[in-house]
Structure formats: C-alpha cells, structure tokens
Structure 1
Amino acid sequence: MRILYVEDNCELRDTIGLLMEGEGRTVVTCATAEEALQRDAAQPHDVVVSDVSLPGMSGLDLCRHLLASNPQRWVVLCSGYPLEHGVGTLGPHVRSLLKPFELEELEELLDVIASHLQSASPA
C-alpha cells in the first residue's frame, strides 16, 4: 500500500512517516498540499493521510481536489479540532483522526483501508 503523508510540522512528518512504514507499506512524505498534488499526479497513492491545517491549500481542499478526480479515493484527515460537518459528506472513503491521536488508532485505520483495497483489487 502506497501512503502519501502530508504534514507541515517537520518533526511529526518524519516521526509519523517512519512509524507508518511496515510490511507491504511505503510512505512518501511532503509538507504542503500543493506538493502532495504534484507527487500524487506523478504516481497515485492508495491513501493520502493529511493534516487539515497546512500552509497554502488546506488538507480539506486537498481532499476535495483528490476526490474530484476520483470519488473513491481513500483520504484520512488529521485535525486538532473535530471536523464540523463530519467527513462522511466528503466521500465514502474519507476518515478523520483527532489530534493528538494514538499510533494504534492510525495503525487500525490503515489496516482497515488495506483490507478494503485488497478486497477491491482484481484477483
């Protein structure tokens, strides 16, 4: 599973990026939504994990942009505040994590997404 992790805090980006790596997972990190769009356009990722508060384009806007071209995209939005209208209105595969989150929460969510991706891929 290819994961694109978008976080403007350098320490968090490096730490969480490393912790998400594992068997069957590769993680690409970037600091802005604009960079994320460029990297994803060059080689689409299975899931995009993004902070909501980013310099320039927000994580929510990144999510909307990704979903405009593929409504079935998996996106995980991370925020220090509960998302007001819920992420269910954005798309069927959009999830949220309230910061600070436990690593186990992120791991469980990534395992669920990986399971969905495996069951959706042709045999």
Structure 2
Amino acid sequence: MRIVYIEDNDELRETIGCLMEGPGRSVTCCANAEEALQLDGQAPFDLVVTDVSLPGQSGTDLAQSLLQQAPQRWIVLCSGYDLGHYPSQWGPNVRTLLKPFEIEELEDLLGHIQTQHTGTLQ
C-alpha cells in the first residue's frame, strides 16, 4: 500500500513518516499539499494522511480535491481540533485522527485501512 503523509512540521513529518512504515507499506512524506498533489498525479497513492492546517492549500481542500477525482479514496485528516462528523460525509473512506494521537491509534487505523484496501484488490 502506497501512503503519502503531508505534514509541515519537519520533526513530526520525519518521525510519523518512519513510524507508518511497515510490511506492505511504503510511505512518501511531503511538506505541503501542492507537492503531494504533484506526486499523486504521477502515480495515485492508496492512502493520503494529511495534517489539516498546512501552508498554502489546506489538508481539507486537498482531501476534497482528491475525493472529487476518486470518491472511494482513503483519506485520514489529522487535526488538533475535533472535526466532528463533517468529513465522514465526504466519502466512505474518510477518517479523522485527533492530535496529539498515540502511535497505537495510528497503527490501528493504518492496519484497518490496509486490511480493507487489500480486500478490495482481491
């Protein structure tokens, strides 16, 4: 499963990006939505994990743009504030992760998505 992680904080991007790596997962890290969109245009990612507050285009705008192209796409929005049920209305595979999150929460979510994603490929 190909994952892109978008986070403008250098330290968080490096740390969380490394922690997301695992069997069957390759992670690409980006500092902004524009870079992620460019890379996704070359080869779409299976999962987009993005901070909501980014310089330039926000994570929510990025998510909505990607979902217009592929409504079934897996998106995880990371935010320091509760986004409520609003993002879940965007599509069946949109999830939120409240910051600061525990590594176990992230791993559980990635494991669930990976299982669901693998199931759709069979």
* TM-score normalised according to structure 1 size: 0.96
Q: Percent identity?
A: 61
Aligned residue for 1:66, secondary structure, equals helix
What letter corresponds to residue 42 of structure 2 in structure 1? A
State the alpha-carbon separation in 1 of the partners of residues 43 and 21 from structure 2.
Answer: 18
Tell whether 2:3 aligns with 1:3.
yes
Q: Confirm whether residue 50 of structure 1 aligns to residue 55 of structure 2.
A: no
After superposition, give the CA deviation of every residue in 1:9-48 in whole Å (9 maximum; x if it has no partner): 0000000000100111100000000111001111111100
Runs of 4+ in 1 over 6 A off after TM superposition: none
Distance 1:36 1:113 in 2: 20
How many residue pairs get matched? 122
**1:93-112 equivalence runs, <5 A:** 93-112=93-112
Alignment of 1:83-102 (within 5 A): 83-102=83-102
Q: CA deviation at 1:93?
A: 0.3
Q: Where do 5+ consecutive residues of structure 1 fail to align?
A: none
What is the aligned-residue RMSD (CA, Å)?
A: 0.8
Distance 1:28 1:81 in 2: 25
2:31 maps to amino acid: A
**Helix, strand or coil for the counterpart of 1:76?**
strand
Residue 85 of structure 1 and its aligned partner are, at CA, apart by 4.5
**1:24 is matched with which residue?**
24
Matched residue type, 2:3: I
CA distance, structure 2, for counterparts of residue 41 and residue 47 of structure 1: 14
Supply the distance in 2 between the matched residues of 1:16 and 1:84 (Cα, whole angstroms).
Answer: 23
- AA matched with 1:73: R
